[in-house]
Amino acid sequence: MNYLNESKEKPSQYGEWLFTAIAIGFFLLLVGTLFVITPNLFDNILDFLKDFKLVDVSNTDIVFPAPEFPRIHLTVYQAVGQFSIAVCLFQIVLLALRFFVPSSWSKRAENVGNLVYWGGAAFLIQLFLIESTQWFVFWSTLIIIVGVSMIARAIVMAVSRI
């Protein structure tokens, strides 16, 4: 019996190692591609980071760090938006692979949560950073997306136990 359990565990351990290697390779490929296709991205990122100041949050007495002139950093937002879309699409492929190569339900649930997060982030970047540049609205709605992605993960885990 121990031999049966061991043989069942080895493919999933091998499969998880394979998923990790694919994810790391995809990440490096994606970051490299973004720097190649986006002119002066490194300089734009440096300018973005240098622009951070303590800024008043509208309709409150709260001060948070934020770009002093957020509208001038559209190139950075677009690159991050492209990154988010690519990671979202990659999560779809990875989820399909997790059904093809047997994987645990917890890993599938993790993929669903990641898919919801990156898809939501891509949408919010487009809506609140690129189209209207509402810095603090973006961050508050991103927190909501984190909660939604955790709920999606929990739903997959609950369904897997039925």
Residue range 98-145, pLDDT digits in tens: 988 888 999 999 999 999 999 999 999 999 999 999 999 999 999 999
* pLDDT at residue 47 in the model: 97
Q: What is the pLDDT of residue 9?
A: 40
pLDDT of residue 3: 44
Cα–Cα nearest to 15, from 135, 111, 116, 112: 111
CA atoms within 13 A on the CB side of 58: 5
Tokens of 15: 């499969």
pLDDT of residue 7: 41
Number of domains in the chain: 1
Q: What is the pLDDT of residue 1?
A: 45
Question: Which domain covers residue 87, as residue numbers?
Answer: 2-160
Confidence (pLDDT) at 16: 81
Reading the block at residue 126, the tokens are 């487009």
Counting as low any pLDDT under 70, the low residues of the chain are 1-15
* pLDDT value, residue 8: 41
